[in-house]
Amino acid sequence: MNQVLCRVAALTLLSITPLAACRAKPVELAKPASLPSRSGGAGRMDWWREARFGMFLHWGLYSIPAGKWGDSTSHAEWIMTTAQIPVERYERLREQFNPVGFDAEEWARMAADAGMKYIVITSKHHDGFALYDSKVSDYDVMATPFGRDILKELSEAARRHGLVMCFYHSIMDWHHPDYVPRRDWETRSAEGADFGAYRRYLSRQVSELLTNYGPIGVMWFDGEWEPTWTNEYGKELYALCRKLQPEVIVNNRVSTGRAGMAGMTKGADFPGDFGTPEQEIPAQGLPGVDWETCMTMNDHWGFNAADRDWKTSEDLVQKLCDIASKGGNFLLNVGPTAEGKFPPEAVDRLAAIGRWMKVNGEAIWDTQASPLDAQNFGRVTLRPGAGPKDPSTLYLHVFDWPVGGILTLEGLGNGVRSAKLLADPTREVRMAKGEGRIVLELGQERPDPQVSVVRLELDGPPIVFAAPRILTRSPRFLESAQVEIVPPSPQVQVRYTYDGSEVEASSARVKGPITIKGTCTLRARSFFEGKPVGKESTLRLEQVTPRPAQTIAGAGQGLLRERFEGDFDRLPDFTALTSTASEPAARVELPEGPREERVAFVWSGLVRASQRDVYTFALTSDDGSRLFIDGEVVVDNDGLHGAEERRGDIALAAGWHAIRVEWFNKSGGAELVLAMGAGDAVPAPIGPGDLARPPTGPK
């Protein structure tokens, strides 16, 4: 994980050169086993979607310093680079790795007792040290005083406890002599480094993991963001994983398509089976997309003895409910100590979550996202019936116990067969049904101090009273726009108008896609048994005229890039600044080399529209950015933030149009990607052939 910091006490012992540490051994790979499906073989993602809850383990040499190096106590699994420890010195930690307290059975039992269904452990983190017996490197656990294959022991224990074994493996490797780029502070020369040789080494290690340890549920990659790794390399690695174990699931960090810490893939051309939000939960969920939030219990992934900022068990349970209610998985991290023990605080929290899951686990496992709008009492999960007319179950996760014990569930049109509190099934729950709401009398006392769950058995699938969704490629169009209006549930009819009138029971009924010609405001509302239910949806649709193209002569390929210096919190007024450098740039991309801080760039020139159409531009940046086309702001992604994508549309005539991109970075990570797509095409990065630098400006 890309995090921070660690410590090391007095270090003596063996020093091994990087080349010797990566000396190859003979390769003997066993035949892989296949992962049995938990859903009768219906699909390789099924078990993972049903699991909802897993354990992340960050463990390695970095656990020995326990977060401290010199006077700093803020390090963890990134200590090798955050404390700028030379390779030959960091290697000495290997002679101190002797986790005599490691008990694979105990680890697996704690995960299973917590209600987790799978374990993801760092087979190799960015420091390059492997926790297993690697036949292609001596820089592994077998070269430590411990001398036992940790992954083998944990894999066997996990399966005994009904857990699916999964591996995290870093693409980045600060130790391997052929991995580039080097760290900014390193003294090792990169001369002679062969990244192709490193890729072969990486593939051989991944092959070991997928052939020697039985069926593996997930290959969880990380460290893909450096410029040496490409989407093509990611595709090759993904294909290797699926070849060795066809049922294995591979996260989206196998390639370069992840959009920052939000973790979701930013285009269709990138491999990966699920998105990976890090330390955050998508605010609105991600309907129809597989995703998994990974999160720490405190502030570090690897063990940090000084980190006392532990999340409460109540907070962690509520995060689990929140994620499940949005259709995601929760991968909760533990950073074991150098002795091989879980920190006591982590043990306590796992036990508390386990007690809650023992009572309420059915509200998490094998559930789907809430079909209802947000509820003020907490969260909702759904367990559909076996058939289209069978009873379904809603689970109400009550975070805030209602005043007087009266809870109102909004937006549901079903009859309710039964209601019970999972933590107190003998307590009577009285019900009353109104128009689009269910009123439940739960009693004054909250039965569970963390989250109380109410189980509602419904008559058939949920009948949702909510606003319909209006979907269209762009609210701007040239001749006509195709619009789809999606009802909140199949039992509900949707009616609409676009002439300014109110939506009534006599208005036109949605029977399929709608073609809109001319500027208008589309209004849609759900109806059930002839009565309006839920809120109204509206969308302004605008017929536009494409901006005319420009005529140029003698243009050079690419753009002009200007550099500015300053401590910016937002994009500055560049007309008031003087650039410190100006040079040609092939495309809208940051200069090669170390990422700079307190700097801004401006790209200017022309972009080619291949056809007369409405174009979608996607601008991803860390920190802020802004895109102008023909002087109009199309995408505004300004401000201090991590890698974040925003989109905008503009109608363009075929030909050349003025383009200007502004970007700044205050500190930390830096990223900039501009993509463009015409019509229904997925936006793709703009190549040099579609960019121009006029010799004297447009004519």
Express each pLDDT in 264-308 by its tens digit.
Answer: 887 778 999 999 999 999 988 888 899 999 999 999 999 999 999
Tell me what pLDDT residue 671 has.
86
Tell me what pLDDT residue 668 has.
76
CATH topology assigned to domain 378-458: Immunoglobulin-like (2.60.40)
| Reported CATH class of domain 469-543 | mainly beta
Tell me what pLDDT residue 21 has.
33
Q: Is the pLDDT of residue 72 over 70?
A: yes
Q: What is the pLDDT of residues 395-438, one digit of tens each?
A: 999 999 999 999 999 999 999 999 999 999 999 999 998 888 99
Compute the half-sphere exposure of residue 395: CA atoms within 13 Å on the CB side of its CA. 27
Does 378-458 match 556-693 in CATH topology? no
**Residue 398: exposure state from Cβ atoms within 10 A (0-12, 13-18, ≥19):** buried
Q: Rounded to whole angstroms, how far apart are CA atoms 242 and 224?
A: 19
Q: What is the pLDDT of residues 164-220, one digit of tens each?
A: 999 999 999 999 999 999 998 999 999 999 999 999 999 999 999 999 999 999 999
Do residues 386 and 404 touch, judged by C-beta distance below 8 A? no
Q: Rounded to whole angstroms, how far apart are CA atoms 633 and 320?
A: 40
In the chain, the percentage of residues whose pLDDT exceeds 90 is 82
Tell me what pLDDT residue 435 has.
83
For residue 93, the 8-state DSSP code is G
Sign of CA dihedral 171, 172, 177, 182: positive
Kindly list the distances between the CA atom of residue 339 and the CA atoms of 343, 490, 643, in Å, as whole numbers in the listed order. Answer: 10, 56, 37
The dihedral formed by the CA atoms of 172, 177, 182 and 186, expressed in degrees to the nearest 10: 130
Which of 403, 392, 449, 453 shows the shortest CA–CA distance to 427?
Answer: 453
Tell me what pLDDT residue 312 has.
98
Which of 101, 176, 164, 108 shows the shortest CA–CA distance to 140?
Answer: 176
**Residue 591: exposure state from Cβ atoms within 10 A (0-12, 13-18, ≥19):** middle
- Look at 388 and 432; give whichever has higher pLDDT: 432
Tell me what pLDDT residue 223 has.
96
What radius of gyration, in Å, describes the C-alpha atoms of the chain? 28
Residues 6+ apart with CB under 8 A from 199: 233
- Look at 667 and 575; give whichever has higher pLDDT: 575
Reported in sequence order, the residue ranges of 544-654 that DSSP labels E, i.e. its strands, are 556-557, 559-565, 581-585, 599-609, 613-622, 625-629, 632-637, 644-652
Tell me what pLDDT residue 42 has.
53
Which H/E stretch holds residue 516? strand 514-516
- Look at 534 and 39; give whichever has higher pLDDT: 534
Mean local confidence (pLDDT), 553-565 = 87
Q: What is the pLDDT of residues 453-473, one digit of tens each?
A: 999 999 999 999 999 999 998
Strands 53-57 and 118-124: parallel
Tell me what pLDDT residue 25 has.
35
The rounded mean pLDDT for the chain is 91
Tell me what pLDDT residue 684 has.
86
Do residues 396 and 424 touch, judged by C-beta distance below 8 A? no
Q: What is the pLDDT of residues 6-41, one digit of tens each?
A: 322 332 222 323 333 333 333 333 333 344 443 334
Structure tokens at 571: 């994009």
In the chain, the percentage of residues whose pLDDT exceeds 70 is 93
> What region, left, alpha or beta, does residue 64 occupy, with left being phi > 0 and alpha being psi -120 to 50 degrees?
alpha
Cis peptide bond upstream of 623, omega within 30: yes
Q: Rounded to whole angstroms, how far apart are CA atoms 550 and 699?
A: 7
Q: Rounded to whole angstroms, how far apart are CA atoms 412 and 396?
A: 13
CATH assignment of 18-363, among 3.30.390.10, 3.30.1180.20, 3.50.50.60, 3.20.20.80: 3.20.20.80
Structure tokens at 174: 């600060």
Domain assignments of the chain as residue spans, ordered by start = 18-363, 378-458, 469-543, 556-693
Q: Rounded to whole angstroms, how far apart are CA atoms 589 and 661?
A: 10
Q: Is the pLDDT of residue 566 over 70?
A: yes
Q: Is 108 helix (H, G, I), strand (E, B) or coil?
A: helix
- Look at 355 and 643; give whichever has higher pLDDT: 355
Tell me what pLDDT residue 696 has.
58
CATH topology assigned to domain 556-693: Jelly Rolls (2.60.120)
Strands 684-685 and 581-585: unpaired
Tell me what pLDDT residue 562 has.
97
Tell me what pLDDT residue 117 has.
98
Which of 169, 160, 52, 48 shows the shortest CA–CA distance to 107?
Answer: 160
* Confidence band of 525 (pLDDT split at 50, 70, 90): very high
Q: Is the pLDDT of residue 576 over 90?
A: yes
pTM to 2 decimal places: 0.86
Q: How far apart are the first and last CA of the chain?
A: 50
Tell me what pLDDT residue 495 has.
98
- Look at 411 and 553; give whichever has higher pLDDT: 411
